[in-house]
Structure 1
């Protein structure tokens, strides 16, 4: 029988990693769309806005449903986190993701702005759709966590250099803890604490 790995591993919440990019993508998309709407572009403003709305809806659906089978497989095989594992704070996980993707976000924002000269607001709609899709995926993970009464965690060293692939090929499995562990609620949002009286 193989010896258990008793080394301490840093664990990040899966749902927190998933939703870490939602807010910056949303604001990049909203700003890019807002700046792009006054630009007539090649297609004209009306067609551009309609294209942005269509891209928003399609992208949100694709991002929300993409990879769910992989998440289910990893969640079913989740092992209980050990006492040697270290649970990473939500703020640290979010900061690591955003630092690792800051240049990608900048390029995506610039591309969305540039696309307005061809199809007004379309690039912004695409980025905003990605953001909503990530929020929907994290909400879906939150429902799974509540149903299983267990939070899902992934080893930090498996997330990659940019810290953002919670269901990538490098991830061998998830760890699980009780629903009250860590500082993030099911789905990865900030945990609401009861007011002191």
Structure 2
């Protein structure tokens, strides 16, 4: 489940950094100093808001997690990330275009806002990873509840989480790639 949260972090971060870098090159209507200062404030606010959003819902679903059954369909990390990114690619491109367009008025602010959103998702995934380590169980969302495009892991369609041991699957707690799986693939 943390894999779905983490899937959007890297694209938002890198698109935001790229947009902010281009935004710094254009002086804009407010000037670079004002733009970068406003962007830094937006980065911090966006990271905090995204990291803290819907924590009660995540906590309630995690508390009610049941052991994954034989017939629950659980997806590999790589498939989940690929599905989420393909399903949201137009939203990512639209957000990048909006951040880039904002550079004409306030240099770098839009890109830093986008990067802050990505950082907030990474912080939320890290928080979920700590919960998974503390509970000694990876939390999963059934594929059919996520929907065709990767959906939201705490959305209306999600009725509950499934739990497995921390050694299950190819994801570590928090949605990161499991290092032993990567090493086994390289050697095997």
RMSD of aligned alpha carbons: 1.4
Is 1:81 equivalent to 2:68 in the alignment?
yes
Compute the displacement of 1:86 (Å): 3.3
Q: How many residues are treated as equivalent by the alignment?
A: 184
Cα displacement (A) at 1:84:
2.1
For 1:154, the equivalent position in structure 2 comes to 141
State the 1:164 CA deviation.
2.6
Q: Which residue of 2 aligns with 1:26?
A: 13
Give distance in 1, aligned partners of 2:91 and 2:153.
Answer: 18
- Report the CA distance between 1:40 and its aligned residue: 1.0
1:65 aligns with 2:52: yes
- Residue 188 (str. 1) matches residue 179 (str. 2): no
Q: Which has the larger radius of gyration?
A: 1
Corresponding position of 1:11 = none
Q: Is the 8 A contact 1:18 1:164 kept in 2?
A: no
TM-score where L is the length of structure 1: 0.90
Q: Does 1:45 align with 2:32?
A: yes
Consecutive unaligned residues in structure 2, runs of 5 or more: none
Cα deviation for residue 98 of structure 1 reads 0.3
- Note the alpha carbon deviations across 1:10-31, whole angstroms, 9 max, x for none: xxxx100000011111110010
TM, length-normalised to structure 2: 0.94
Alpha-carbon separation, structure 1, partners of 2:151 and 2:10: 15
Q: Does 1:119 align with 2:106?
A: yes
Instruction: Indicate if the aligned counterparts of 1:16 and 1:187 stay in contact, CA closer than 8 A.
Output: yes
Query: By how many angstroms is 1:76 displaced?
Result: 0.6
Q: Distance in 1 between matches of 2:145 and 2:74?
A: 14
> Which one of 155, 159, 168 corresponds to residue 172 of structure 1?
159
What is the correspondence of 1:105-144 to structure 2 with a 5 Å cutoff? Answer: 105-144=92-131
- Distance in 2 (CA, whole Å) between partners of 1:160 and 1:85 is 15
Which structure 2 residues correspond to residues 90-105 of structure 1 after superposition, within 5 A? 90-105=77-92
Deviation at 1:160, TM superposition (A): 3.0
